[in-house]
Amino acid sequence: MILKEQSSRLCHQKNYEYVRVYIINIVAPIMIIAKNVVKQYGKLVALNNVTFSFENEQVTAIMGENGAGKSTLLKILVGILPFNQGEISVDGFSIVKDSIKVRERIGYLPETPTMYDRLTGREFLVYIASLRKFTEAEPRIRELSTLLGVDRFLDYELGTYSKGMKQKISIISAIMHSPANLLLDEPVWGLDPLTARALQKFIVDRKGTTILATHSPQLVEQTAHQVYIMKRGQVVASGSVDMFMQKYGSIEEAYFQTEGT
C-alpha cells in the first residue's frame, strides 16, 4: 500500500526525495532508526546508549517506569531535544542534517499539550496547518474535531479548555496532515472512554510508523505490534506483543516481570 502511494507520488511530483525514500523502503522497511543514543541532563543519564528501530506499518509501544526515558526518546526523535551521542534517521533522513525534512514527515503529540492560551482551538490548528503548508486543513479539522467531540469548543480560547479538550486539539494537530510517522506520548491521557476508544481504532487502522509512549498495558495489547520496556534509560526487554503475551499471559504481567528485575 505504502509502496503504491509512493510510486504514485513519484509519477506526479518527480521529486528526488521520494526516490530516495522509495529505495530505502525497498531495501529496509525500517522508517525510524535510533542508534546508540545517549542523552544526559547534567550528571543524570536519561538515555544510556540505546538503540531502537521502528518499522513501517507497525505500531511500537514504549513502556517503562516514570523517568525511564520514554518522553525524552520521543522528544529526541522529533528533534525537540538535542542529544549527546548517537545517530537518528527518519525515512532515511538524518535528524541532525535534515531536520526540516524529518519534521515534515512526523506528527507529534507531546506529553503535556501546552498551547497558546489566547488563540482559539481553530486558530491554533490553522496556525499549525499553515506552518506545515497543509492546504486542506479546513475539512480535515471539521472531520477530526467532530470525531473527537471537540467541534463545539473550537471557537473558544485555548486558555479556557480542560485537560482533555487540550489533549484532543493536540491530537488533531498531530494527525491532521496524515503523517507517515506518528509519535504519541501518552495519547489517551485525560480522554473520556469514548474518545479513547476512537483513538485506539484510529491507531490500529492507520498506515505508516506509529510510536506510543504509554503506561497503559491495555492500550499496548489492543494496538501495538512491538514493545520496548525501558528502565533508567536502558531497554530491559523488547519483542513482539504476541511473544510477550505467549510468555507472560498479558502485557501487564510482562511489564511487572521485566521491570521487577
Partner 1 sequence: MFDTYTTLLTDAGRNLQRNIRDSPVLYIWFGFMLVFSVAMTAMLTMFMLKNQVNMSIDDVVFSFFFVFLMKSSADFHKYFVQSPGVTYALSSAVSHQRTVGEIALMIFWTNLGLWVFFSSLFSVFLSVAGVSLGYPIEYLKFTTGVVLGCILGVATSLHFFSPHKLRLLPAGAIIGVFLYVRNLEIIVVLIGFSLCYLAWSVRYALDSYQYVNRKDRQKENKKAIMRTERSAIFFKETTVLWRDRLLSSFVFTSVATGGFIGYLAVFGKDLFIPESLRIQAEQFLPSVYVSLGIYIVIIFTAVFPAINMFLIEEQTMWVVRHLPVSEKTFVTGKVYALVIPFLCSIPFLAYYIAFAGTRFLAFSIWFLVFSYLAGVIISLPFGAKYIGKKSDVLVLYSVSLLVFGVVSVAAGLDAIVGRFFSAYHVLFYVVTIIFEIVLLLASIEIAAHVMAMKQKYSWFTGKPKL
Q: CA torsion sign, 203 to 88 to 62 to 76?
A: negative
Q: Give the residues lining the site for partner 1 (CB under 8 A).
A: 40-42, 75, 78-80, 82-87, 96, 99-101, 103-104, 106, 108, 110, 112, 114-116, 118-120, 122-123, 125-133, 135, 137-138, 141, 154-157, 159-160
In angstroms, what is the minimal distance from the CB of 184 to partner 1? 13
Measured over all CA atoms, what is the biggest interatomic distance in the chain, rounded to whole angstroms?
53
- Set of cell numbers at residue 232: 533508567
Three-state secondary structure readout of 130-155: HHCCCCCHHHHHHHHHHHCCCHHHCC
209/226 with CB nearer partner 1: 209
Residues present in the chain in total: 261
Q: Residue 160 CB, nearest distance to partner 1 (Å)?
A: 4
- Minimum gap (Å) between residue 174 Cβ and partner 1: 9
115 and 174 Cβ atoms separated by less than 8 Å:
no
Closest CB to partner 1 among 168 and 258?
Answer: 168
Which residue, 70 or 238, is less far from partner 1 as judged by CB? 70
Query: Of 155 and 192, which CB lies nearer to partner 1 in the complex structure?
Result: 155
Please give the Cα distance from 120 to 73 (Å, whole number): 30
One-letter amino acid for residue 114 of the chain? T
Under the phi-then-psi rule, with left for phi > 0, alpha for psi from -120 to 50, and beta for the rest, what region is 109? beta
CB of 23 to partner 1, least distance (A): 22
- As a whole number of angstroms, the distance between CA 62 and CA 49 comes to 16
Within 13 Å, how many C-alpha atoms sit on residue 48's CB side? Answer: 12
CB of 125 to partner 1, least distance (A): 8
Cβ distance to partner 1 smaller for residue 115 or 229 = 115
Minimum CB separation of residue 241 from partner 1 in Å reads 27
| Closer by beta carbon to partner 1, 21 or else 241 | 21
